Amino acid sequence: MDCSNAQTLLDAYQDGELDALRHAEIEDHLHGCTRCSERLDESQMIHRGLKSESLYFKAPADLENNVRRSLRQAAQAEAPPRWYSSAWFRVAVPIAAAALVVLALVPFISGPSSNEILTQEIVASHIRSLMVNHLADVPSTDEHTVKPWFNGKLDFSPPVSDLTQQGFPLVGGRLDYLNNRPVAALVYQRDKHFINVFVWPANEGAESSAPNQTRQGYHVIHWTSSGMNFWAVSDLEQNQLVKFTDLLKSSTAKPAG
């Protein structure tokens, strides 16, 4: 028997499906052919791997008992003929188990939330501003220069604060587009780290904050105050970014002078 014929019969040999004559011929060939022996070893290794328990999901031990008990109660309440109850039970158990699996997977296949998508947009816009060196359309450390620049470009007036004395100087401002609308982007700096603060009107009556997040190594802080949405993003250390946002919140909450 040559290698070509032997290799076409290896799977059947491995599964014990050959007659005695063919089985003996394959045995003889394998004893003298290293290549076919290695091929058989590889096939056996794959078969063992496919039978590994790690590839199978093992349902909780009490799942089947709970399903069986629920189905028995339903069957007893309806009192169907015995032959029908047994047949229906055998069909219903796997259907119910499959339904439970689908329900468990729904949160993972429904896709990211609108808040998660917006957070990703915020981080992407921050990264773009650094990559193309487009931090500011109006570069200025003077809040009285930056704030009026937005007049006529947006349908709102973003609050602008200079926090130079607190160690977070204003760098400037620019227009950006987030959440399906034009927004103001205010840029601040701490040492060599830049902070983008995106601002646009919040829903009426909204006064809230969200847990701090980290995406792609950038920290993101969101809050609403004085009728505005604020999103701050930077690679600055998180405790420093929290300090900055606390200062900004205090500053923007003050009546305009």
Residue 151: Cβ within 10 Å count: 8
Q: Taken in order 53, 55, 60, 66, is the CA torsion positive or negative?
A: negative
pTM of the model: 0.56
pLDDT for 192 beyond 80: yes
Domain 114-253 has CATH 3.40.50.720: no
For the chain, the structural domain boundaries read 3-55, 61-109, 114-253
| pLDDT, position 257 | 41
What percent of the chain is predicted at pLDDT more than 70?
76
Beta bridge partners of 8: none
Residue 256 banded pLDDT, cuts 50, 70, 90: very low
What's the token pair of residue 191?
A: 């040492």
Does residue 133 sit in helix, strand or coil?
coil
Helices (H), the chain: 3-14, 20-32, 34-50, 61-78, 82-109, 114-131, 143-149, 238-253
More confident residue, 56 or 33: 33
